[in-house]
Amino acid sequence: MFPERLRALRRGQKMTLGELATALNHLPDADLTRNNTAAQIGNWERNLRTPSYLEVRKLAEYFHVTTDYLSGQADQEEYDLGRIFLSGKPLTFNQEHLSGEDRYELFQLMNGYLHGRQQRAVPDDNGQEELDLHFDN
């Protein structure tokens, strides 16, 4: 299960083996382990080698998943975006850093969307929603 999940996570980020190795080598705790290489990660993905616990922790930290998820012991956790936006953890979107103001604005947009969807009309048989712009004549 580990090789498949690692490969899926890496490919989901559209990363090469070398790019992942470089990213892992730049993590804050990377000095606790040897430098990663593309060949090493490729061996993990092909199930030819097994990473150490510290390497699995680095992968989990990088991909924002749990070690249980990587090892196949648990499915992906559910994340509450509201908590993530309000946390102090650095966030990026399409590899662009989100400032505190960005986070607040995005939180407000999502919150407004979710609250507003309760007011939307139900689609008809053709899948079309009636648009009510609340214009008074």
Distance between CA atoms of residues 100 and 13, nearest Å? 24
Whole-angstrom distance between the N-terminal and C-terminal Cα of the chain? 62
pLDDT band at 100 (very low <50, low <70, confident <90, very high): confident
Question: CATH 1.10.260.40 region(s) of the chain?
Answer: 2-71
What token pair was written down for 34?
């040897």
- Please give the average per-residue pLDDT across 98-110, as a whole number: 88
Q: Which long-range contacts (CB under 8 A, 24 or more apart) does 81-88 make?
A: 81/110, 82/107, 82/110, 82/111
The CATH code for residues 2-71 is 1.10.260.40
Instruction: Give this prediction's pTM.
Output: 0.55
pLDDT at 111 over 60: yes
Q: Tokens for 68, please give them.
A: 């249980």
- For the stretch 29-85, pLDDT in tens is 766 678 999 999 999 999 999 999 999 999 998 888 888 889 888 776 566 777 777
Could you tell me where the beta strands, DSSP code E, fall in the chain? 92-93, 96-97
